[in-house]
Structure 1
Amino acid sequence: MRLRTLLAIPDLRLELITGHDELDRTIRWVVTTDLKDPGRYLHGGELVLSGLVWRTRPADTEVFVRALTRARVSALAAWDAEAATIPADLVEACDRHGLPLFRVPEDVAFASVTEQVMRRLSTARAADLTAVLGRHRTLVAGVTEGAGLGPLLDLVGRDLGMRCWVLAPPGRLIAGPGELPGSLSPADLTRGFLTAPRLPAVLPGPGLSLFAVSPDGTARVADWLLVCEGDCTEWPAERRALAAELTAIVAIERARSGERSNAASRLARELVRLVLADAPAAEILPRLELAGLDTAATLVAVVAGTRDTVRPAELHRLFREILPAGSAVGLLEDEVVALVPAAGPDHDLAAQVRRALSVLAPGLTGGGIAVGVGEPATVEGLRGAVTEARHARRLAADGTGPVRVVGPDALATHALLLASVPDDARITFRDRLLGPLHAYDEAHHADLIRTLETFLQVSGSWTRCADRLHLHVNSVRYRIQRVEELTGRDLARLEDRVDFFLALRLR
C-alpha cells in the first residue's frame, strides 16, 4: 500500500503536511507510539501514529524524528489533542529529514486509522500472493512456448514496476531493458557480482539486487546473473518469492541454452580432432560446414586452459560466451580449443579475449586462465594454427596473474621454441647447465647465477655488469671464470651464451 492511498480513504480525511514528493513510499505495517525514541521497535516501512505525548520541549522533536528516519519508516501521522495543533518544530524537522507528515483530524481515532490501513494491507497481500502465483504460471508458460526471457522480464517490469536484466559472463546482456540505471555498464554489474561476499547482494548506489542463477552448481565466473531493481533486503516476502521463482526460470533457460549448444560443441570437438590428426582437406571441409564455418574463410585458433580455477566444462561454457558468434568451440579433455572466423587484418582477437577475461579477473582464483591465440589460417594450415595456439597457451601458463593471454605477436620469439619443447627435455636442459651453479651457490653462499644473468643482460660488458652488481671488475671476472669451470662452457662463445640464456628462461 502506498502513501498516496491514505489521502484517498474518505473516512480518514488525512492531510499531508510535508513529503509531497514521497507519496510512492509503501506501508507494510502500522505502529502507534508515544516514546521519544521508538527506534528499537521499528523495522522499516511503518506508518507511525503519535499523539506527541513524548514532546515536552522542542529539542525532543529532533530525537523523535531522527529515530524514525534511521528506522526508515514510511511516514508519520500525528495530532496533539491537548494543544489542538501540530507544532511548527515537528513540521520543520520532518521536512528537513525528508519524512512525510500527515495531520490526523481531531475527531478521527488512531484505532480507526490502524483498522482502515491494516484491512487494505491484508487485502493487498492476498492479492499480491495470487498475482505472484499467476505470474509464475505465465512465466513458465512463456519459457515452455519458447518465447525467451525478454517477454518474461517485460511482464515483471509491467506488473510490478521492477525492471530486471539477465547477463552472462563477461557482462553480455541476454535479456532486459536496453539501458542500465545511472551510468552503470554490464561490466560494472559483473564486477559487483564477482566481488560480493555473499549472494544475493545489493549493489550500493543504484539499489540493484544481484542473484546468481545457479549458485550451487556453477562457479560465479561461469554463471548467469539476474539483476533486479530495488533492495532485496527490504522486499516483502511475496516479492522475494517471485525473485526466487524468476531465478529458477532463468536457470532453466540457461540449462536449455546449454543443451542447444551441446550438438555444436560435439561437432567442434570432432572437427578439432580431425585437424590435429592432419586429416585431408576433403574430410575437414564437410565438418567445417556442419560447424557453421565458411570453408573459404580464414580462421583463428584459440586454446585455453586453467588450473584450480573452474572446471573444464565451465571453462568451455565461458569461452562460448566470450568468443564471437559463429565460432566452433570444443573441449578436448581439459583444454578448450576453438576456431574463430577472422574478422579482418586489423582485428586483435587476443586483445578482445584479454579484455573479456579481465572483467572476470576478480572471480578467477587459483591458477587463473591461460590462453593462446594463433595466426589466421586457411583450411590447409589449420593444424599448424592449432599447434601454434597450443604452444602460445603453454607460454601463457608460465606467466603470472589471473588472466594470461599470448597472441601471435609472441610466436616468433625464443619463448615459442621453449614452449614447444616437452617438459622433461626442458627440465633436463635447465638442470644440466644451471644445476652445478645452484649447488655451488648453496654450498658457498655465492651469487654465480645472478652474476651470470646480469652478465648476459649487459651483453658481456664487464664494466656494466660490475656497476649493476656493485662489484669490482675483477670480482666479476672471477665469478664468470668459476661459471665456466663448473659447467665446462666458454662465455666468449655465442653458442654457449645462447644456451645459458635459454636455461635461465626455463627457471
Structure 2
Amino acid sequence: AAEHLAATRAGRRAPHRVAVAGSTYSVFPVRAGARTPQAVGVSREVRETVLSDWLLVVEADAGDWAEERLDLLYGVTQLIAVERDRRDAARTVRRRLAQEVLELVQTGAAPAEIAARLRVAAPVLLPGLGAAPHWQVVVARVEWEDGTAETGPVAQSLLEEILVDPHATGPEHSDRIAVAHTGDEAVALVPLPAVSTEHDGSETGVLADALLESVREPLSAGLDGDGRVTLGVSAAVHSAEGLRGA
C-alpha cells in the first residue's frame, strides 16, 4: 500500500510493481471507469482519494503482460469498484445519523436531545443489542500545505477505511461505524457494547497506539511530505453528556 501511494503521488502510471520478500507483486487501483492504464489517475485531484484507495494486488510482474491480460485485470477491478459503490451507498444512513449527532453537539443541544438521537443510531449500528451502547469518538483531520484541497470528505473516507478491522468476523464490521465531516475534520461514532458477551476485546474499542501503528507507513507515503493527518481517539463515553467533552 505504501509503495502504491508513493507511486500515485509521483504520477507514475499503474499498475505499480513492488518486490516483497523475494516475490514481485503488481498493484492495480480499484476505481470506477479505470479499464485501461491510461484511464487510471487522470481527470481527478489525486489527493481527494489517494488516502482511501482500494487496491487489487496480484503476485506477478505485470510489466510484460499483453494488453488482453491487462484488460482482464482491469475488468476485475471494475467488479470490485461496483462492490465499493454498493458499500458507499449503504453508508448514507449512517453518515446522516453521525452528522445529526455532530451538529447537535456542536450547537450545544440539550443532553436529552442528543441522547434521543443516539437511541435512534444504536439499533442501526449495533442491531439486536439489548442495552444502550457506550460510544467512542475518533477524529481525523487532513491538511495539505497549499490548503487548496477540500479535506473534510477526504478525512471521512479515510476513517471509514482505517477503522475497519480486516480480521473481524461476523456481520460487516464497517456497518458499525458512522462518520460525519465538517470543515477539514471527520468525526466517527463507534458504538461499543456496554457489556461484551463475546470476550473478543470489542468492549475496549479503538486503541490509539494500535491504530497509528497500522496506518503510519502507508499514510506517510500518501502524504508525500506535503500533507498531515492528525488522529484523535476518545475514551469510552457512557452518556450524551460525556459525548460533548469527548
Q: Under a length normalisation based on structure 2, what TM-score does the superposition of the two structures give?
A: 0.69
Match of 1:306 in 2: 142
Number of matched pairs? 195
1:362 to 180, 200, 221: 221
Specify whether residues 352 and 287 from structure 1 end up closer, same or farther in structure 2 by C-alpha distance, changes over 3 A only.
farther
Specify whether residues 317 and 231 from structure 1 end up closer, same or farther in structure 2 by C-alpha distance, changes over 3 A only.
same
Distance 2:16 2:54 in 1: 14
In terms of fraction of residues, the more helix-rich structure is 1
Task: Give the CA deviation at 1:358.
Answer: 0.6
Match of 2:195 in 1: none
1:136-178: CA deviation from partner (whole Å, max 9, x where unpaired): xxxxxxxxxxxxxxxxxxxxxxxxxxxxxxxxxxxxxxxxxxx
Specify whether residues 257 and 270 from structure 1 end up closer, same or farther in structure 2 by C-alpha distance, changes over 3 A only.
same
**What is the identity percentage for the equivalent residue pairs of Structure 1 and Structure 2?**
35
1:338 to 158, 166, 188: 188
Distance 1:323 1:251 in 2: 20
1:374 to 200, 225, 234: 234
Distance 2:189 2:243 in 1: 9
Specify whether residues 348 and 223 from structure 1 end up closer, same or farther in structure 2 by C-alpha distance, changes over 3 A only.
closer
1:164-194: CA deviation from partner (whole Å, max 9, x where unpaired): xxxxxxxxxxxxxxxxxxxxxxxxxx12322
Name the larger-Rg structure.
Answer: 1
Q: Does 1:285 align with 2:100?
A: no
Task: Give the CA deviation at 1:281.
Answer: 4.0
For structure 2, the residue ranges without an aligned partner over 5 or more in a row are 32-39, 165-172, 193-201
1:205-258: CA deviation from partner (whole Å, max 9, x where unpaired): 323211112343453221110112322122222211111222223223222221
Q: Which residues of 2 match residues 70-469 of structure 1 at below 5 A?
A: 190-196=1-7, 198=12, 199-204=14-19, 205-214=22-31, 215-216=40-41, 217=44, 218-291=48-121, 292=125, 296-308=132-144, 311-324=151-164, 325=173, 326-342=176-192, 343-344=202-203, 349-360=207-218, 361-365=220-224, 366-379=226-239, 380-385=241-246
Distance 2:217 2:188 in 1: 21
Structure 2 residue matching 1:329: 3-state secondary structure: strand
Distance 2:103 2:159 in 1: 18
In terms of fraction of residues, the more strand-rich structure is 2
Structure 2 residue matching 1:208: 3-state secondary structure: strand
For structure 1, the residue ranges without an aligned partner over 5 or more in a row are 1-189, 386-507
Distance 1:266 1:334 in 2: 18
Question: Could you tell me whether the CA contact under 8 Å between 1:212 and 1:220 is conserved in 2?
Answer: no
1:381-410: CA deviation from partner (whole Å, max 9, x where unpaired): 11111xxxxxxxxxxxxxxxxxxxxxxxxx
Distance 1:289 1:221 in 2: 32
Distance 1:261 1:192 in 2: 29
Match of 2:198 in 1: none
Distance 2:235 2:108 in 1: 18
Match of 2:169 in 1: none
Task: Give the CA deviation at 1:280.
Answer: 3.3
Highest RCO, 1 vs 2 (Cα 8 Å, sep ≥ 6): 2
Question: Could you tell me whether the CA contact under 8 Å between 1:296 and 1:378 is conserved in 2?
Answer: no
Question: Could you tell me whether the CA contact under 8 Å between 2:181 and 2:187 is conserved in 1?
Answer: yes
Question: Could you tell me whether the CA contact under 8 Å between 2:143 and 2:184 is conserved in 1?
Answer: no
Question: Could you tell me whether the CA contact under 8 Å between 1:328 and 1:338 is conserved in 2?
Answer: yes
Amino acid at match of 2:132: A
1:301-341: CA deviation from partner (whole Å, max 9, x where unpaired): 22221211873212201101112542221112321112223
Amino acid at match of 1:378: H
Question: Could you tell me whether the CA contact under 8 Å between 1:306 and 1:369 is conserved in 2?
Answer: yes
Question: Could you tell me whether the CA contact under 8 Å between 2:134 and 2:236 is conserved in 1?
Answer: yes
Specify whether residues 320 and 236 from structure 1 end up closer, same or farther in structure 2 by C-alpha distance, changes over 3 A only.
same
Amino acid at match of 2:28: F
Distance 2:16 2:64 in 1: 12
